[in-house]
Structure 1
């Protein structure tokens, strides 16, 4: 399995967000059916880590991915961008064959 990578920019932003949350909070990213391309990413704050979650850690930030979502995210890089159209987490997913303009929906 190819690991999921978390950039230092994403880790910095996650740490900023988690600073306003209870201690031990983590970012959970999951893949759900839906969106304009077939699948979409969901971002949530999690306080508990399931035994079978993958935990990706970088610079003190932790991202959790559940085992159902993991095959859809294998080899992905999670980044944070701040550009003219706004700020957002961006996932570069080598398995995605297409994605929509919003960046949170993709197809395989």
Structure 2
């Protein structure tokens, strides 16, 4: 299922491509949302071998971001970015639907 409900930034795409090449895997980043974390939900990232048939798939610079339908309801309109700062480097989800977040940046509530 093609959709533009979520965006993969060019910096995140470049980082996924680097990681995938080092691990000899396809450049496909899976974003999912699980219950838990300090604010109710938490983001989970991992490399995927292939998208599932029901996944939302978006592509940036040849790198695909896949999100399952249940998680997509919670991250609709998000931008997945890769940020490097003094505190370290990480994938970050800019979620306009999140009513609250936490200091770690990987947990949110709606």
Tell me which interval the TM-score lies in, with the shorter structure as reference length: over 0.9
Mapped to 1, the partners of 2:51 and 2:16 lie a distance apart of 16
Number of corresponding residues: 108
Q: Is the 8 A contact 1:2 1:74 kept in 2?
A: no
Instruction: Report the CA distance between 1:37 and its aligned residue.
Output: 0.1
| Displaced runs of 4 or more, over 6 A | none
Q: Report the Cα distance in structure 2 between the residues aligned to 1:62 and 1:25, rounded to whole angstroms.
A: 6
Structure 1 residue aligned with 2:63 = 61
Kindly report which structure 2 residues correspond to 1:1-108, keeping only aligned pairs within 5 A, or say none. Answer: 3-108=5-110
- SS of structure 2 residue aligned to 1:47: coil
Q: What SS does the corresponding residue of 2:69 show, helix, strand or coil?
A: coil
TM-score, with normalisation over the residues of structure 1? 0.94
1: CA distance, partners of 2:40 / 2:25? 35
Q: Which moved more, 1:21-30 or 1:2-11?
A: 21-30
CA RMSD of aligned residues (A): 1.4
User: Which consecutive unaligned segments of at least 5 residues does structure 1 have?
Assistant: none
Structure 1 residue 44, shift from structure 2 partner: 1.3
Q: TM-score, normalised by structure 2?
A: 0.92
